[in-house]
Structure 1
C-alpha cells in the first residue's frame, strides 16, 4: 500500500475520505480483512437494518453521547454497500451522494428553486408526494402500491401501504369507522380461535394488526415508536417488580401471578408519585 493511503488511514481528522479509504482497504482481495471480503449486499443488509434501529434506540433514550457512534455505524453501512457496488461496476459512494443531492434539490423547489416558501405544511406535503409520484412513474412504477419496500418492518410497511391507498381515496373517512372495524376484527379473531384452523387464526390476527396500524395513521401516531415506548415501559415496570421481590429476598420464579400483579400496581403507583 502507498504511503499516501497509510497516512490517510491513520489521520484522525481524515473525515469521509479516510472512511472510504479504510473501506477500500478492508475489501482489498489480497490484503484486506477475510470477513469483509466475503460479504455481499445480501449478507450486509441485516446489519444495515440493525444499525438503523440502534440509531432510533439512542434517540429514543436521548443517549446523545452514544448517537454519534450509532450514526457512524449507520454511515459505515452506506460506505460498505457503495464499495461493493463500486467493485461490481455499478456505482460508487460519490454517485450515492450525488443522487441524494439531486433528489433533495428536486423535491425542494421552494428552497432551491423559484417556488415560494409561503405555503402550508400540508401543501408542501402534497407537493412532495407529487414529485415522488413523478419519480415513481419515471421508474416505470405504475401501480399505486408499487415500490413500497417489501423488506420494511411489517408494521411500518402497513402504514406506508395505507398512505398510498389513501392518496387515491381508498381510506376510511374518519377514525371512528376504523375503531369500529377494530371491534369487528377482534370478533373474527375470537371466532377463528374457537371454530377454525390455526392458519385462519393467524390470518385474522394479521388483519387485526393491520387495523391497529390504520388507527395509528389516522391518529397521526408513529406505531413503531409507540410500540418501542410500550416495550420500554413494560421493561421498566417489570424491573421494578424484580427490585421489590429482591428486597423481599425473592425472585420472580419464587413468586406467583397474584403477587407480581400486585407489585406491578405498586410500581405504577410509585411512577405516578414520582411523576
Structure 2
C-alpha cells in the first residue's frame, strides 16, 4: 500500500531526503533531489485515478429515491471499480517505492544529514483529501440505495396502518367494545383473585413448612428418647434375669437348709410336749403354707 505521512513519521522516513553529492561536471549545479528518486532527476507525478471519471458520472446521473435496477447495478459496479483502481494505484506506488529504496546509498553521512534537516512533506493532507473525495461518491450512492430500500419498506406499512385506522374509525361496534371492556374487567378480577390465592397459598406453605420442620425435630428427639428407654429397660431385664437365675441356682441348698432346720425344731418340740404326731402335723401344715 501507499505510504501516508504523519507528523511523527515524516521526520524519520527517508522518502523525501535530498542528496548532497557533488555533480560530476564542474561549474554546473543541480537541484537537490530525493535519494529515492530516479536517476534521471525527474519524479513522475501521481496519475489521476480513472475511477474519478466514473465517480463524477455516477454523481451526475444519480437521482435520489428513483433508482432503477439497471442504475443501481451501474453504481455498485462503479463502486467496485473505484476500490480496485485505488488498490492497484497503491500497489504500483509501493512497488515503485521499494525499487527506489534499493537504489538509495546510505554510505555518505551528508545524505543522512540532508535527510534529517529536510522539512516534512505536506502531501499527507492532500492524499487524505483525495482519498476522502474518492470515497465520497460510492458512500453517497450506497446511502441512497439504503434510503430507497427503507422507503420501499416503510411506505407500504404506513399505507396499511392508515387503511386499518380508517376501517376502525368507520366500523365501530359499540356492543363488541363493551363486551371487550367487561371481559377485561372480569379478567382483571379473576387475575387479582388468583394472585391473592397464590399469596395465601405461599403463606400457608411457609407456615406448614416451618411446622413440619418442628415436628421432624420433635420426632428425632422422641426417637432418641425411645432408644434410651429401650436400652435402660434391656439393662433392667438383664439384671433381673441374672438375679432370678442366681436364686434358682441357690434354691436347692436353701430348701435343704430349711428342711434340716425344721427337722431339728420338730425334734425339740417332740421332746418338750410328748405329743409328736400332733406337733408334726402342725409343722407340716406350716411348711405347706410357707411354700
TM-score normalised by L of structure 1: 0.18
Query: Which structure has more RCO (C-alpha within 8 Å, separation ≥ 6)?
Result: 2
TM-score normalised by L of structure 2: 0.18
